[in-house]
Amino acid sequence: MPRGVAILALVAGAALAVLGGSYAVELAAGSPELSEHPVSQAVAPVSKAHQPVLRHFRQAPRLLGVKRSQLESIAECESHGDPRAISSDGTYRGKYQFDRSTWHSNGGEGDPAKAPELEQDLLAAQVMRTRGSSPWPSCG
């Protein structure tokens, strides 16, 4: 699925948004949770009408099982929460100051500092699940 495309659908009475083809946000009883779900087909591209829903999902208390507060703490320490931040030598980029190797080896495409903020959040959560806070030795 191309970057920037999301899927919105109703599944068993819960809203479901799929990002990047493998991540989903479920809204059940008003509490969004981001987790991995297989995706078989696109329902609709993201449009301005979907933005309020995606804004709500961006505030999910957990991303892929990782507490958002933990991710926010790392982002604040690394970049003051700026998704466009670039280190002075250009090596570390984006909200979580990914180097390009970490970014690409975890499924990121292009420049982390140019990726949508939610994509950076998802990739950081994925890294936290697999490697813990070791990629952020000063901030994790």
Q: Please provide the CATH number assigned to the domain covering 66-131.
A: 1.10.530.10
pLDDT in tens, the chain (140 residues): 334 333 333 333 334 443 444 444 444 444 445 444 433 333 444 456 666 666 666 677 887 888 989 999 999 999 999 999 999 999 999 999 999 999 999 889 999 999 998 889 989 999 999 999 999 999 87
Contacts of 138 (CB under 8 A, 6+ apart): 77
C-alpha 112/C-alpha 97 separation (Å) is 8
Contacts of 89 (CB under 8 A, 6+ apart): none
C-alpha 54/C-alpha 81 separation (Å) is 19
Residue 65 pLDDT: 85
Residue 47 pLDDT: 56
Domain ranges of the chain: 6-60, 66-131
